[in-house]
Copies of this chain bind each other. A is one copy, B any other.
Amino acid sequence: MFISYKNNVMKISARNQIKGTIVEVKPGVVTAKVIIDIGGGNRLSSVITMDSVEDLNLQPGDEVVAFIKSTEVMIGKE
């Protein structure tokens, strides 16, 4: 997946880059919760700083990309 930075194309190492649409932004004091619909009946819950919510001007309806580092994904098996 290609990203660009400033005027050039940038790739970022995070292996998990999932497109979705914001369905909820709940502001707190330091952090905020953002819920993203990624399709296929799945939603992602994200806790980021209020600084980021304001800097990116995140709002319901925004099309976004969720980034998750591989080392943060656990697996459960029946």
Give A1-22 as 1s and 0s: 1 = Cβ < 8 Å from B's Cβ atoms.
0111111111111111110000
Inside 8 A of A51's CB, which chain B residues have their CB?
Answer: 15, 33, 45
B73 touches A11 (CB 8 A): no
B interface footprint on A57-78 (CB within 8 Å = 1, 0 otherwise): 1100011111111111111111
| Chain B residues whose CB sits within 8 angstroms of the CB of A72 once the complex forms | 68-69, 72
> Per a CB cutoff under 8 Å, which of B13, B56, B62, B64 touches A52?
B13
Q: Which of A1-55 contact B (CB under 8 A)?
A: 2-18, 26-34, 36, 38-40, 42, 44-49, 51-52, 55
Q: How far is the CA of A23 from the CA of B12 in the complex (A)?
A: 18
- B45 and A13 form a contact (CB under 8 A): no
Residue of B nearest to A55 (CB): B11
